[in-house]
Structure 1
Amino acid sequence: MLRGILTVGGWTLVSRLLGFARDMLIAAFVGTGLIADAFFVALKLPNLFRRLFGEGAFNAAFVPAFSGLLQAEGKQAAKQFAEEAFAVMAFWLGIMTILGEIFMPYLMLVLAPGFSATPAKFQLAVDLSRITFPYLVLICLAALVSGVLNGMEKFTAASASYVLFNIVSIACMLWMTPYVPTIGHALAWGVSLSGVAQLGLLLLALRRGGMTLSIPRPRLTPQMRLLMRRMAPGLVGAGVTQLNLAVDVIIASLLPAGTVSVLYFADRVQQLPLGVIGTAVGTALLPLLSRQVRAGEAAASLDTLNRAIEYALFLTLPAALALIVCAYPIILVLFGHGAFSLESARLSSQALAAYAVGLPAFVLVKVLAPAFFARGDTSTPVKVGMACVGLNLTLNVAFMVPLAHIGPPLATSVAAISNVIGLATILLRRAHLKPDHQLIRRLIGMIGASLVMTGGLILVRIHLFAVAPHGWPRYASLAALIVTGLLGYAVAVPVLGAYNLRDIKRVMSRRRLQSVNKSATSPVITTET
């Protein structure tokens, strides 16, 4: 499992860093004005589907079924299942895309109702959304191919494909802008063209992996009906975080101009640890848990879930506290250029701190949900998730006036924390989650080490960011904060018992053992994927 986490996490990190480069260019060229607001809303619809399918509901339903067929009935049966799913998805998503193109103005009234007060912004958002909407089909089909590769325990290409999204977007922004009405149009075309590149790369990787998908006539076979039944509730259960973020956009469109952009830049920063850690752990965890549950290895599945929680919180806890303390320096250094003003940086940093409050919960949702999906239970996360969506909407409305731009991210964080509490409580009652002594001991150590790190960050920030520095001192000050955080946490971790060198050596030795003997099975050795 650890090898899969590192592979997915490594490529996700590269993608997020390139994403920051893209967002820095957007901030410098566009700022937080009308074009930025319109483009970020246009990006929200296909991006919502990307996160739901690529990181959530589809994998939750497809990967366990594909992995089970691959193990029980062989490659040909799994290949036929994947081809049937590809044909059905292409057909229905194609229809959905056509309807979306036709009725986009009505969709925009739902997603960004506040834009209707400014006709120019509303029309621009509709135009850009029509350009980006075909990405829905492309990325969902890419998610299916990624699921096949993940089911075959080939994580590299599936994770690397997201890098193309940012590369193509940057290229279009820099070179297409002179030939289209606005830079927003260039960015929108970059989204759809990146979908073509991603799907092409994944199909090539699948072919090199020894499997080529043909496209049969779409038919609702018994396997497809079962897949769709499991997938439909999973769209909500696994994508509650994304639905909550969509609610944030709806509320933000009703707030002062620029709020959508302010929240976007804040969300992009907190998506770095969320994507690198949460997505990586969830992606690598699901196939392993599915095999262990299918094989009746109850003790192994409990150990796997404990270690996944451990791996996730080891980096998420300090990341959350660091983002809360250093929100303003981070936003200022990353985006404080060109059209992105100091006031925009201040507002966005406040939203980032509110998002960071729920960061550990965002990640834990991605870790706990596979414990249900691996057992074929997609309905329970839906029930918990829908309750949290309702809570998020209620809190958004309550916070909208007194907290303005801080309200939506804070409401989302509270909803995510409630989601984790609900999922964990149910897993504990069903005996599918039993925190062991190692997890509890290390969690206490992680919390202590994170607090030590936070104290150091506060002291350094007081001295270096008493006023907003300019030029290279700004970058040097942020670098000093990063070094302080890393060193403080690294020193405190072994002292407070979270991890030590012996633990790391043991994990690495397990990885070497598994690479030598892939057929070995043990309830303790859970790092194969």
Structure 2
Amino acid sequence: MRASSVVSSMTFVSRILGLVRDVVFARFIGAEAGADAFFVAFKIPNFLRRLFAEGAFAQAFVPVLSEYRERGSHAAVRELINAVAGCLGSVLFLLTVLACLAAPVVAYLFAPGFAADEQKFGLVSDMIRITFPYLLLISLTGFAGAILNSYDRFAVPAITPVLLNVSLITAAVVISPQISEPVMALAWGVFVAGCVQLLFQLPFLARIHLLPVPSVNFSHPGVKRVLTLMVPALFGVSVSQINLLLDTVLASFLPTGSVSWLYYSDRLAELPLGVFGVAIATVILPSLSRQHTGADSERFSRTMNWSLHLIFLIALPSSLALLILAEPILATLFMYGKTTAADIAMSRLSLCAYALGLTAFMAIKVLAPGFYARQDMKTPVRIGIIAMVANMVMNLLFVVPLHSYWQVGHMGLALATAGSAFLNAGMLFSRLRRQNVWVSDGRWRRRFWQYGVANAGMVAVLALCLYWLPAWGDSLWWQRTLALALVCGLGLIAYVGLLVLAGLRMADLKHR
């Protein structure tokens, strides 16, 4: 619980700065063609950040590193780290060079709908040449963070993303007004952020005597095991992110602004997911790996139960609050400068759709480590393939009618992503239960009654507050901010107060 709190608090700082960054984006670039181009170019390294910094690489590397740490010497651990650093760095360097040389091809793969607009397509291609090296930098940053997490140094990797937000805010506010194409300043901000993030973590690796000296050695047994585990993990742990990326590809065929609307709504859905879901998953993976290595199945199951209890405690109210407060939050944060009331209305639709799937998104983050800690990569991959196919089918079922009749096809993309997330989470949970990896601790019936009472009370309070408050679009920015803070504060008080009245105590949330 203490480790999760450290990661959550550091991630919370990063996510708040991320919201500030998005407010700056809304003011300076809005939801116009240039904004769509930047969000596509930014989506590629951001997507890869989630794969490597929070996803597949950590899920494959941490169990192997934990096993070396438990059973081997410090020298063996150093040898593994040096070999992985050399192999990972060399492969990513070659990939980065190829992508920069073939930037128009990469642009077409990720945003084929932009090909009809020569100016927009050229802008995306130019920015990809600047942003794609972030893949190499952030992957090595994720590698350094995985080492620190394995040695229970959670705070440094959790606070590192703050540097990305600081760099982008500086680029938007200081540099973009000085150049003819403002969004190009943001692309350079991404590149600079990658350099700073990597350099920031190196001194902390040196403190634990694990600063890598890269050595390209693909024959090293540890490297082979990491690669074997990583290939399926790349897909299995990141299905929800791949679905979001496919949304961007399809959104490039929809009206101008669709990519931006999805971006702004996705960013708000990412706030609870990043602060809590990723934090809990980051903390439990090393513990689950050590418990599996020690053949302690009872503790393994208790850890899974504890993480799922926390997910439902946080995800359910977050999902309901985003559904009810979608327009007030979007208007308060983003309705400035070039972002119009119409953009807010469109973003609200996709935010509500993403909010429906928030519980599933967060559950996947803690269910997947139950497989990866046991070095079972095949099961999540099979489930991920099924979920991805289902997502594409639902895209056709939702996007076509919503775009044809109401011109809100982007909402259909978000609905399909949420639906496939529930399918993914449900299948992961079912498989863990059948394998007796997860065994109920006997508290679920009581907890769901407590959660139900608290969430019902919170919804009632939020609905009453919105009924009495004036239209958000008619208020000044400071009035919106104060009103939103008051509404959120009352909702939080209602939720926590009813949980206490229903019998939930802080001691129930601890896990030893």
Give the distance between the partners of 2:421 and 2:219, measured in 1 at CA. Answer: 35
**1:72 maps onto 2:78 in alignment:** no
1:485 aligned to 2:484? no
Distance 1:215 1:180 in 2: 39
Native 8 Å contact 1:310 1:443 kept in 2: no
1:284 corresponds to which residue? 283
C-alpha distance in 1 between matches for 2:207 and 2:456: 47
* C-alpha distance in structure 2 between counterparts of 1:180 and 1:469, whole Å: 33
- 1:325-384 per-residue CA deviation (whole Å, 9 max, x = no partner) reads 000000000001111101101110111110000001000001000000011101110110
Question: Shift of residue 500 of structure 1?
Answer: 2.1
Hey, what's the Cα distance between the residues in 1 that align with 2:295 and 2:93? 40
Count of residue pairs the alignment pairs up = 505
Partner of 1:392: 391
Aligned to 2:505: 500
Report the counterpart of residue 455 of structure 2 in structure 1: 450
Counterpart of 1:436 in structure 2 is 441
Using the alignment, how far apart are the partners of 1:285 and 1:440 within structure 2? 24
**Contact 1:372/1:378 (8 A) holds in 2:** yes
Alignment equivalent of 2:475, drawn from 470, 475, 486: 470
Q: Distance in 1 between matches of 2:454 and 2:475?
A: 32
Q: 1:80, 1:97 → 2: CA distance?
A: 26
Corresponding residue number in structure 2 for 1:425: 430
Q: Deviations over 1:187-236 (max 9, x none)?
A: 01111110101100111111123322111234332221211010000000
RMSD of aligned alpha carbons: 1.3
SS, match of residue 326 in structure 1:
helix
SS in 2 for 1:257: coil
In the TM superposition, what is the alpha-carbon distance from 1:113 to its structure 2 partner? Answer: 1.2
TM-score, L = length of structure 2 = 0.96
The runs of at least 4 consecutive aligned structure 1 residues that moved more than 4 Å come to none
The alignment-based identity, stated in percent, is: 36
Maintained 8 Å contact 2:163/2:196: yes
Q: 1:359-374, aligned counterparts within 5 Å?
A: 359-374=358-373
Separation of aligned partners in 1, 2:135 and 2:445: 41
Structure 2 distance, partners of 1:477, 1:114, is: 40
- CA shift for structure 1 position 426: 0.6
Shift of 1:8: 1.2
Kindly tell me: are residues 209 and 223 of structure 1, through their superposed partners in 2, closer, same or farther at Cα, counting changes over 3 Å? closer
Partner SS state of residue 152, structure 2: coil
For structure 2, the 5+ residue unaligned runs are 403-408
Question: Which residue of the partner structure matches residue 44 of structure 1?
Answer: 43
Give yes or no for contact 1:325–1:457 (8 Å, CA) kept in 2.
yes
CA distance in 1, matches of 2:267, 2:474: 23
> For the structure 1 residues 465 and 368, does the alpha-carbon distance in structure 2 shift closer, same or farther, using more than 3 Å as the test?
farther
State the partner residue of 1:35: 34
Q: Which range moves more in the overlay, 394-403 or 467-476?
A: 467-476
Write the letter of the residue equivalent to 1:203: L
Distance 1:67 1:249 in 2: 36
Shift of 1:397: 2.1
Distance 2:312 2:70 in 1: 32
3-state secondary structure, aligned to 1:176: helix
Contact 1:88 1:218 in 2 (8 A): yes
What is the aligned partner in structure 1 of residue 406 from structure 2? none
Which residue is 2:418 aligned to? 413
Quick one: which amino acid aligns to residue 249 of structure 2? I
1:310–1:132 CA distance, 2 compared to 1 (3 A): same
- Cα offset for 1:78? 1.2
Q: Residues 47-72 of structure 1: CA distance to partner in whole angstroms, max 9, x if unpaired? A: 11100111111111101111111121
Q: TM-score, normalised by structure 1?
A: 0.93
1:278-427 matches, cutoff 5 A: 278-403=277-402, 404-427=409-432
Q: CA deviation at 1:117?
A: 1.5
Counterpart CA distance in 1 for 2:345 and 2:436 is 45
One-letter identity of the residue aligned with 1:486: L
Q: Which amino acid aligns with 1:135?
A: Y
> One-letter code of the match for 1:495?
L
What is the letter of the counterpart of residue 225 of structure 1?
Answer: K
Output one character per residue of 1:127-153: Cα deviation in whole Å (capped at 9) or x when no partner.
111110000000001111101101111
1:437 is paired with a residue whose SS is coil
Helix, strand or coil: the match of 2:438?
coil
Q: How has the CA–CA distance of structure 1 residues 178 and 361 changed in structure 2, closer, same or farther, with 3 Å as cutoff?
A: same
Equivalent position of 2:97 in the other structure: 98
Q: Offset of 1:319 from its aligned partner?
A: 0.5
SS in 2 for 1:250: helix
Q: Give the letter for the 1:271 counterpart.
A: E
Identify which range, 389-398 or 92-101, moves more after superposition: 389-398
Q: Does 1:137 align with 2:143?
A: no
Q: In structure 1, list runs of 5 or more residues that go unmatched.
A: 508-524
1:444: Cα distance to partner? 2.8
**2:377 aligned partner, one-letter code:** T
More displaced stretch, 304-313 vs 390-399: 390-399
